[in-house]
Chain A
Amino acid sequence: MPSQIEIIEEALFLPGAAGQLEAVLTYPESGNSVPNVLIAGPHPLLGGDFENNVVQQLSNLLAMCQMTTLRFNYRGVGLSEGEKVISTDNISQFLATSHIDEEENFGEDVASAGNYLQQHFGKIDCVIGYSFGAYLASKWADNNENVKSIVMISPTIEKHDYNPFMNLNIPKLVISSLDDFAVPLDDLNKLFSECKEPKKLIIENIDNHFFRGYENWLAKAIQEFLGDIP
């Protein structure tokens, strides 16, 4: 990655359905950045916030490749407004069901962050969803014609409904690790083979679900994918 490019990380609050959401807009110092990218992170109960290694590193590395990225904290996470997600009730519910009621509402936060980008740039060139964020990203992209492409990293296909993803006509990139605890290969193969073109699947044998030390590799794969889109 071109590390010599200086980037600006602009902390901001954007309007959300349950109050303001804490977010970071990152772009090259030189300006004139295209494309723009929204990044949705993992499940907040499993440590998913905008400082997650994949979310933060992708945000910076893609900005170094002349893109503008927006990452944000879901409601109740970090400084985002809303009821704190790390609560006794939520943890109890998650232990019992692997889900929490609030989960679907995080989708509204993706939409809010997307709206922010759209208002400033007219469209969203790409939405990147990592882990649980891949589920929210695919659901949102299905309802928004201004989203031009989608990247799903380690999608939680065993736990969430990815049917909306199947019908997306936009270019799709799916990245997973062979040893990913959350992504059964058979299910991923089925999902990918049944979803519409254009599509690309990358499976590598790296660090389970976490891509630690492979953030540069991830950014490069995404940069290439976006570069191939006419």
Chain B
Amino acid sequence: MDVKHHIFLTGATGLIGRYLLRNFLQDGHQVTVLIRPNKHQSVPERLNDLITFAQIPKKTSSQIQAIEGCLKDLALSSSDFNKIESCDMIVHSAASLSFHKNMNGEPWTTNLEGTRNLINVARKTGIKRWIQVSTAYVCGQQEEKVYEDDHNPASTQNDYESSKRAAEELITQQQDLDWTILRPGIVVGDSNSGYASTYQGIYHCLKSVAFMSRKIKPDNNGNKKLPIRYNLSGKEKTNLIPVDWVAEAITQLSLNPETINQYFHLTSQSPLLAETLVDAVQDYYELTGIEFIGKDAPQPEDKNIYEKIFDRETKRLGPYFQDDPDFDRSNLNKFLPGLEDFNVNKAFIHKLLDFAESDKWGKAENKTDKRKAGVDCNEFFEIYFPDAASRSKIARIKNLNISIGFKVHGDHGGGNWSCIIKKGDVVSVKEVSFLPDSLDVYYSTNHEIFEEIVTGAITTRDAFFKQHLQIDGDIEKALLLSVLLEDLLQEIPFKPTNQIRENICA
């Protein structure tokens, strides 16, 4: 296992991909990743995030390089090809998770055509070793046990499964590739931290219960009831599996040459039951009321609003949660006898929910902002704000009692500030490491937007409408206060001292 590889990794920004990248780098391998920019981040910014996630020392970051590109439209330059030529293995974990074919042709464009494009790259660069991250569901839903080398699939249930199946077939037809096919179950967050980078699939369903739980008024005894009749028996199995466990298995199997031309199920031997999942979720949100009425029971005709919402979210999950087949794991157990099975239990579901809630289901913060600060947040919050507020309408609103959390992200000049206003007076503003949960309202933005707001280039409302500013807590108070802040900045404009200094120097 001392052999060091140079791996060409696709899907590195995805949930599994980032864990694979971390494992490969921590094991000392070189990795070249294929990344496309998204609407919030450039390729270097995304790469930087991945290096941070991988928790590798700065000096080790030379182990990783990025090629900008998109699988479905792969136009590589000669220098890109030079980078890939030094690779000796492709780990293909990029995928579209669309269940049904959409207007852009997904999931087929990425999952099949993207794979075809990547095969051409492998051929041009002479890479033979190919690790294909597929899915356990390529064999559709079967009543019989599904074996790892199953080549007679029942009809697949959606475009996602069909496209992944077709990609597998395409790979295994290539005589010049030394392939290994890896088929995970439904991949969810980290077994230790609950971390997830996105909230797809089952998370849609969990999120809808989370939101509904906040809408339900407790009865006289303080109990919250979510009246949902669910057309399952509760004994249906579903094969959730934590991402770090899957990534560990993929890492080990990828690096073992004896796995060539083999298939592996990366699934749990003790799948989660629907009743355990429901119990865990109800327990977490202190709810009762979700009732299993049997898989074959007629659909209730008088569905209430919660049932309609729940139906829609579970429909998005497609056939999953309708009872998974048994996935045979003989091959996996043979090659990785030391890999302990992961028990997906109530405590694990709570961990996933804990993380999702703390991450506000992916909306907690805009992850990066590397721009240089031009305005000092401390100066704004601790000098300008108390002074200007005392001379503005705020001071005249004698029933204005509010605690505010401001969060400005960014490597240069960001931070958290807690501010208390009593009877219109700003009685305290201080920078804090963490904003407590007990504040009335929260505002969160990155440094660039913060600078534009406080210098009057944009209004708080514009920033909010464009989703550059997030508000939380008592929303009505937060909206009212943002009107007041806008008014304050118009009445007494903020003049940062560094700008004054620049003007003097000029």
Contact = CB atoms under 8 A, between A and B. Distances in A.
Contacts of B461: 47, 51-52
Interface stretch (B64-72, B111-119, B164-172, B303-311): B303-311
A101 interface: no
A91 B480 contact: yes
A111 to B, nearest CB: 25
Given A46-B479, A98-B476, A205-B207, A88 B215 contact: no
B483 A95 contact: no
Contacts of A31: none
Contact of B467 (A51, A188, A212): A212
A53 interface: yes
A213 interface: yes
A203 B305 contact: yes
B483 A46 contact: yes
Given A46-B480, A178-B211, A208 B393 contact: no
Task: For chain B, give the interface size range.
Answer: 20 to 34
- Chain B binding surface SS class: helix
A94 B483 CA distance: 13
A203 B476 contact: no
A205 B465 contact: no
B26 interface: no
A188 B308 CA distance: 14
A47 B479 contact: yes
Interface stretch (A142-150, A163-171, A179-187, A220-228): A179-187
Given A178-B208, A185-B215, A95 B393 contact: no
Interface stretch (B4-12, B245-253, B259-267, B396-404): B396-404
Contacts of B475: 181-182, 208-209
B208 A205 contact: yes
A186 B218 CA distance: 12
Contacts of A203: 305, 308-309
Given A45-B483, A91-B400, A205-B208, A179 B309 contact: no
B378 interface: no
Nearest to A209: B475
Interface string B284-312: 00000000000000000000111011000
A210 B464 CA distance: 9
Interface string A51-65: 111000000000000
Contacts of A86: 393, 483-484, 487
B59 interface: no
A4 interface: no
Contacts of B211: 178-179, 205
Contact of B215 (A87, A96, A184, A212): A184
A178 B309 contact: yes
Contacts of B306: 185
A32 interface: no
A72 B337 CA distance: 70
B217 A179 contact: no
B305 to A, nearest CB: 4
Chain A CB within 10 A, most for which of B207, B306, B400, B476: B476
A189 interface: yes
Given A185-B212, A186-B217, A47 B399 contact: no
Contacts of B216: 185-186
B142 interface: no
B482 interface: yes
A86 B396 CA distance: 13
A92 interface: yes
Interface in B190-222: 207-208, 211-212, 214-217
A186 B226 CA distance: 11
Contacts of A178: 208, 211-212, 215, 309
Contacts of B313: 205
B58 interface: no
B466 interface: yes
B476 A46 contact: yes
Contacts of B467: 212-213
Contact of B214 (A47, A53, A179, A188): A179
B398 A92 contact: yes
Interface of A: 45-47, 51-53, 86-88, 91-92, 94-96, 98, 178-179, 181-182, 184-186, 188-189, 203, 205, 208-210, 212-213
22 contacts: A45-B483, A47-B479, A51-B461, A86-B483, A88-B396, A88-B397, A91-B393, A92-B399, A95-B400, A98-B476, A178-B208, A178-B215, A181-B475, A181-B476, A184-B217, A185-B215, A185-B305, A186-B215, A186-B305, A189-B304, A205-B313, A212-B464
Interface of B: 207-208, 211-212, 214-217, 304-306, 308-309, 313, 393, 396-400, 461, 464-467, 475-476, 479-480, 482-484, 487
Smallest CB-CB A-B distances: 7 pairs:
A53-B465, A46-B479, A189-B305, A181-B475, A185-B215, A179-B211, A88-B396
Given A92-B398, A205-B211, 15 more contacts: A45-B480, A45-B483, A47-B461, A86-B393, A92-B397, A92-B400, A178-B208, A181-B475, A182-B475, A182-B476, A185-B305, A189-B304, A205-B207, A212-B464, A213-B467
